[in-house]
Amino acid sequence: MKLLNATNRFYIIVALALLLVSSVFLVYRVVYVIDMQITEHMLFKKLQIEKQIASQPELQRRSFYISDLIRVDTISKFTTFKVQIKDTLMYGELEEAEIPYRVMTYEQEILGDAYRISISQRLTQNRDLVSGIAITFLLVAIDIIACFYFLNRYFSSTIWRPFYRALDTLKRFDLQRGGRVRFEPTEINEFNALNEELVKLTDKVSSDYRNLKEFTENMSHETQTPLAIIRSKLEILLQADNLSPEQLEQIRSTLDAINRLTKMNRGLIMLTRIDNEQFSDEEDIRFSELVQRRLVDLELFIQSRELHVETELNNELVVRMNPHLADILVSNLLSNAIKYNISGGRLEVSVFSDAISISNSGKALTFSDQKIFERFKRGDAVDSIGLGLAIVKRICDHYHYFLSYQYQDDLHRFYIQFTKERRNIT
């Protein structure tokens, strides 16, 4: 959700809550004032009736009506000063239905005669006024909220415009192309401070990226040569005739360590280059052809382990990615399936229209399944450095592929689901 929408929603909720509370309080106060006015009006009528009876002899000692709102009845004697006021429903000729009335009944002694007087007052104006106020208040609330929403949206978008410009600038920033980020100055101090810190941050990131890239390139060039020299010297030394068995064993052990160090160096450099997104060149890769080529390259290793290979290759899968990373992805999975397979085991390779699956026979893992893609996590193979599957995981994360591992029926199964955006089905 955008920040502008979030703030608008918050303000609208607060405004609705305040308007609701205010409307309830307003209606309550209006109804209360109207009730008080009606009661006072009925008390005023009470005094007027007493004066009228006292001043007109023809109305004394007799019962009479004044329309349907005032009724005067004579009684034998006066009994109480209590005035009774109650709300009830009475038939209204205009509405042709029962409507609310307020009735005030009391006894009064006038010139020695006792009377029971009943005064009725319609309450429909109370109900109509409340509904009118509610409708008016609702319309006013809608108008206020609409005006508030659009005005707040306009002013907020104007105020936050420098922020969105800075965000667009950061989106266009590319570490590989280099350059410095430049932000437009604004009239808001906080945005200027934010832009200054972003400039410092991007400069630091660019500098670290260049240093790391240079270090990676230097490591890939400078360390390979000394390692190759050490390996060649050890191989020459291994052919000497005057070496004892102990010396031969030490040279072989050192040569194995050099080989493992060379593989580890290449693997770590590869992970660093992937993390630094140094594989930007992309093309359409037909995975069925790539898998067939790698199986041919690994044929000697497959025959040495006497593996039974089963393939199901769908020629429709074409994925847009870096060809070198695609080759490493398939090679590492196949090499892992061959290296950790059992003698005479199964190797199943499937290429679907949207995924690939590589399975191999083998014993269950001695560690958790979740750790199989971690760096330096290796199985029982002596010559393994534990970086092959970590590189596969990093390539899949780089392209947002779904990578999973499952062990079932004595088979280790690695499955890669390619994203729809990367696939180009022929």
Domain assignment present for residue 93? The answer is yes
d(CA 407, CA 377): 17
Residue 20 pLDDT: 79
What is the DSSP secondary-structure string of 225-275?
HHHHHHHHHHHHHHT-SS--HHHHHHHHHHHHHHHHHHHHHHHHHHHHHHH
Do 51 and 187 lie in one domain? The reply is: no
Do 315 and 368 lie in one domain? The reply is: yes
Any idea which residue has 């920033």 for tokens?
173
d(CA 147, CA 291): 63
- 284, 307, 283: which is closest to 295 by C-alpha? 307
Ramachandran angles phi, psi of 348, nearest 5°: -110, 125
Q: How deeply is 141 buried, as exposed, middle or buried, from its count of CB atoms within 10 A (0-12, 13-18, 19+)?
A: middle
How do residues 162-188 score in pLDDT, each as one tens digit? 888 888 888 888 776 667 788 888 888
- Pairing type for strands 346-351 and 318-321 reads unpaired
Residue 378 pLDDT: 60
Task: Indicate yes or no: pTM above 0.85.
Answer: no
Query: What's the average pLDDT block by block, 10 residues per block, for the chain (426 residues)?
Result: 68 79 78 78 78 75 71 80 80 72 82 82 70 78 80 77 83 74 82 86 82 72 76 81 81 80 73 70 88 91 90 88 88 89 90 91 81 70 67 88 89 90 66
Residue 162 pLDDT: 83
Sign of CA dihedral 369, 309, 293, 303: positive
| Secondary structure (3-state) at 362 | coil
- 45, 44, 34, 37: which is closest to 128 by C-alpha? 34
Do 131 and 8 lie in one domain? The reply is: yes
Residue 172 pLDDT: 81
Do 114 and 249 lie in one domain? The reply is: no
Domain assignment present for residue 233? The answer is yes
Give me the amino acid identity at 83.
Answer: V
- 19, 22, 41, 20: which is closest to 85 by C-alpha? 41
Domain assignment present for residue 423? The answer is no
Give me the amino acid identity at 266.
Answer: R
Do 238 and 299 lie in one domain? The reply is: no
Domain assignment present for residue 336? The answer is yes
Last residue of a domain, one of 220, 239, 261: 220
What is the DSSP secondary-structure string of 87-102?
EEEEEETTTTEEEEEE
d(CA 43, CA 85): 11
| Secondary structure (3-state) at 376 | coil
Q: What's the CATH number where 96 sits?
A: 3.30.450
- 244, 342, 255, 333: which is closest to 294 by C-alpha? 333
Residue 2 pLDDT: 65
Total domain count, the chain = 4
Sign of CA dihedral 16, 20, 21, 22: positive
Domain that holds residue 250: 223-275
CB 67, CB 89: distance < 8 Å: no
Give me the amino acid identity at 194.
Answer: L
Domain assignment present for residue 426? The answer is no
Last residue of a domain, one of 249, 275, 301: 275
Residue 68 pLDDT: 61
Ramachandran angles phi, psi of 114, nearest 5°: -100, 140
Do 271 and 295 lie in one domain? The reply is: no
d(CA 309, CA 345): 9
Residue 358 pLDDT: 93
Q: How far is CA 138 from CA 22, 25, 41, 303, 329, in A?
A: 11, 14, 30, 83, 64
Residue 385 pLDDT: 60
E strand segments, 53-123: 64-66, 70-75, 84-92, 97-110, 113-122
Sign of CA dihedral 384, 387, 392, 393: positive
Domain assignment present for residue 82? The answer is yes
Do 42 and 112 lie in one domain? The reply is: yes
Last residue of a domain, one of 234, 253, 275: 275
Do 383 and 292 lie in one domain? The reply is: yes
Residue 225 CB neighbour total at 10 angstroms: 9
